[in-house]
Chains A and B, each alone.
Chain A
Amino acid sequence: MAQLTYRASVSLAIAQSMRKDQKVFFIGEDVGAAGGVFKATVGLLEEFGKERVMDAPISEQAILGAAMGAAMTGLRPIAEIMFSDFLAVCWDIVANQIAKTRYMSDGQINIPLVIRTANGGGSKFGAQHSQSLENWSMMIPGLKVVAPSCPSDVLGLMDSAVKDPDPVIFYEHKSLYAFKEEIEQTDISIPIGEANMLHEGKDITIIGLALMAQRAKEAALILKDKHDINAKVIDLRSLVPLDLQTIKKSVIETGHVLTVEENPRLCGWGAEISSLISEHCFKNLKGPVTRVTTPHVPLPSADILEDNTIPSVELIVNEVIKKLKGE
Chain B
Amino acid sequence: MVDKLNDDIGEEKRLRLWEMMLKLRLVEKKAYDLFLQNLIKGTSHLALGQEAIAGAFGVALKQGDYTFCTYRGHAHTLARGSSIEGVLGELMGRQCGLMKGKGGSMHLTDVDKGVMGSYAIIGAHLTIANGTALASKYNKTNEVSVCFFGDGTTNIGAFHEALNMAKIWNLPIVFVCENNLYMEYTPIHEVTAVEHPAADRAGAYNLDKIIVDGNDADEMLRTAEKAISKAREGKGPSLIEAKTYRHSGHSRADPGKYRPDEEVKDWMENKDPIKNYRAKLLDFNINEKIISEIEEKIKDQVEKATEISMASPIPEIKEIYTDVWANGGSEWHN
A146 shortest CB reach to chain B, Å: 13
Size bracket of the A interface: 35 or more
Q: Which of B111, B126, B138 has its CB near the most chain A CB atoms (within 10 A)?
A: B138
With a cutoff of 8 Å between Cβ atoms, the chain A residues found around residue B121 in the complex are 92, 96-97
Q: Decide: B116 and A65 in contact? CB cutoff 8 A.
A: no
B131 surroundings in chain A (CB, below 8 A) = 65-73, 77
Given contacts A103-B323, A107-B322, A141 and B330 within 8 Å (CB-CB): yes
Complex Cα–Cα for A145 and B103 (A): 24
Q: Does B161 contact A (CB under 8 A)?
A: yes
Q: Tell whether, in the assembled complex, residue A109 and residue B109 are in contact, meaning their CB atoms are under 8 Å apart.
A: yes
CB-CB under 8 A from A108, the residues of chain B are 99, 109-111
Cα separation A53 to B95 with both chains bound (whole Å): 43
Which residues on the B side are within 8 Å of A66 (C-beta)?
A: 127-128, 130-131, 134, 165
Over the window 95-120 of chain B, the binary record of Cβ atoms lying under 8 Å from chain A Cβ atoms (1 yes, 0 no) is 00011101100010111000011010
**Given A104-B109, A105-B111, are A62 and B161 neighbors across the interface (CB < 8 Å)?**
yes
> Do A97 and B124 form a contact, CB below 8 Å, given A56-B165, A73-B135, A108-B109?
yes
User: With contacts A57-B164, A103-B323, A109-B117 known, is A193 near B334, CB below 8 A?
Assistant: yes
Residues of B with C-beta under 8 A to A75: 135, 138-139
Q: Does B128 contact A69, Cβ atoms closer than 8 Å?
A: yes
Instruction: Please give, as numbers and ranges, the residues of chain B lying within 8 Å of A276 by CB-CB distance.
Output: 333
Interface of chain A, helix or strand or loop or mixed?
A: mixed
Chain A to chain B: the 10 pairs with minimum beta-carbon distance, closest first: A69-B131, A65-B127, A165-B326, A62-B161, A59-B161, A106-B99, A107-B323, A242-B333, A104-B103, A73-B135
Which residues in B have their C-beta under 8 angstroms from that of A242? 332-334
Could you tell me if B165 and A57 are in contact, using CB atoms closer than 8 angstroms? Answer: yes
Total residue contacts A-B, CB cutoff 8 A? 158
Q: How far is A262 from B328 in the complex, measured between Cα atoms in Å?
A: 33
Does B279 count as interface, using CB distance less than 8 angstroms?
no
A69–B128 Cα distance when bound, in Å, is 5
- CB pair B124 A65 closer than 8 Å: yes
How far, in whole Å, are A112 and B129 apart by their CA atoms in the complex? 16
Q: B39 interface residue, CB < 8 Å from A?
A: no
> Given B103, B119, B325, which contacts A106 in the complex, CB threshold below 8 Å?
B103
Q: Are B111 and A62 in contact (CB under 8 A)?
A: no
Complex alpha-carbon distance, A56 and B164, angstroms: 10
Q: Are B165 and A59 touching (Cβ within 8 A)?
A: yes
29 contacting pairs across A/B (C-beta < 8 A): A65-B126, A65-B128, A66-B127, A66-B130, A66-B165, A69-B127, A69-B129, A70-B132, A70-B134, A70-B135, A72-B131, A74-B135, A93-B127, A96-B124, A97-B119, A97-B121, A102-B324, A103-B102, A104-B107, A104-B109, A106-B103, A107-B323, A108-B111, A109-B111, A141-B324, A142-B325, A166-B325, A242-B334, A245-B334
